[in-house]
Amino acid sequence: MSQESAEFSTVEQTERSRILTGAVKGWRIIRSNQLATAGFLIVLGLVFVAIFAPFLAPYDPSAQDLDSTLAPPSADHPLGTDNTGRDILSRIIFGTRYALAIALVVVTLETLIGVSLGLVAGYYKGRVDETVMRGLDVLVSIPPLLLAMVIVTTFGINIWNAMLAIGIVYIPMMSRTVRSSALSIREETYVQAAEGLGYDSKRVMLKHILPNAVPPIVVLGTTDVAYALIDVATLSFLGLGIQPPKPSWGAMANAAQEYILVTPWPIVFPTIAIAIAVLGFNLLGMGLREVLLYGEDYEEVVE
């Protein structure tokens, strides 16, 4: 590592080499664990499908073929068609875009707010900590999905409110995780040294506590993508998330439930898609947890 960076002389190049070594480091961490590797490959596949959806999908996801509605899987329609004759495979492929985008927005929202609150609570302790954490306890005391439904129905049924609602529901867990890390890291001698060097609290929190609290944040964030996928699908299934005719997996399952006695395929395949995506992020999260939080060989892996 040091040899690589020694070749670079200017500061900008050093910066670039750092991002590079960061990516290399990340890949090494993932590769060192089978669960993480499997999950990563699934996630990579989902991202690929989402990006190249127009090229992969055999049909336009909203093109109706009223001659063949509720068709079973066939050569023309590998996963069958729905009640208006739309190709299910194409809709699932385009649905990947919505699923991933929404899950990422949710987790980003959760991370930004949750990490900030947790950091502030853990760093300042005492009254600040009590205020923040008891406030979050109020959120936790309401069943998550119910809370999300209340938020969506209060602020209006659309996808932005659905994302906001699920993001809010996830904040307490992230805050608690970060707070507990921050509480222990703030007692580390290097944090005291940082205060002894006259750094202000912002610098101490962001540059000295946060970077050392990253592993649990990464693990929780990854696992929460999986949960967000399920919750977005659930909200969509209940009609509170992505609205038809947009091809969302949850909404597809919802629309298909009326015909479940006629044909199971329109509800089975979107559900399988959800399961695969959830599995991918879950495996990645579990693998990362093994390496980052419980791995004794973490240092070796990174080297």
Summarize as ranges the residues that interact with another protein (CB under 8 A).
Answer: 1-2, 5-6, 11, 14, 188-190, 192-200, 203, 207-208, 211-212, 214, 299
Sorted by sequence, the CB contacts under 8 Å of residue 95 that are 6+ apart come out as: 61, 247, 248, 249, 252, 270, 273
CB of 146 to another protein, least distance (A): 39
CB of 26 to another protein, least distance (A): 15
| Of 108 and 192, CB closest to another protein | 192
Residues, the chain, total?
A: 303
Compute the chain's Rg from CA coordinates. 23
Q: Which of 213, 178, 209 is nearest to 192 (CA)?
A: 209
Q: How far is CA 196 from CA 45, 91, 212, 244, in A?
A: 48, 58, 19, 58
CB of 20 to another protein, least distance (A): 13
| Of 91 and 208, CB closest to another protein | 208
CB of 136 to another protein, least distance (A): 24
| Of 154 and 189, CB closest to another protein | 189
17 token code pair: 């080499």
- 223 CB-side CA count, 13 A: 16
| Of 64 and 212, CB closest to another protein | 212
Q: Write the DSSP assignment of 28-48 as a string of letters.
A: HHHHT-HHHHHHHHHHHHHHH
125 token code pair: 């302790």
CB of 284 to another protein, least distance (A): 22
Give strand pairing partners of 81.
87
CB of 193 to another protein, least distance (A): 4
CB of 302 to another protein, least distance (A): 9
| Of 258 and 297, CB closest to another protein | 297
Q: Write the DSSP assignment of 234-289 as a string of letters.
A: HHHHTTSSSPTTS--HHHHHHHHGGGTTT-SHHHHHHHHHHHHHHHHHHHHHHHHI
| Of 160 and 190, CB closest to another protein | 190
79 token code pair: 């996963």
| Of 67 and 299, CB closest to another protein | 299
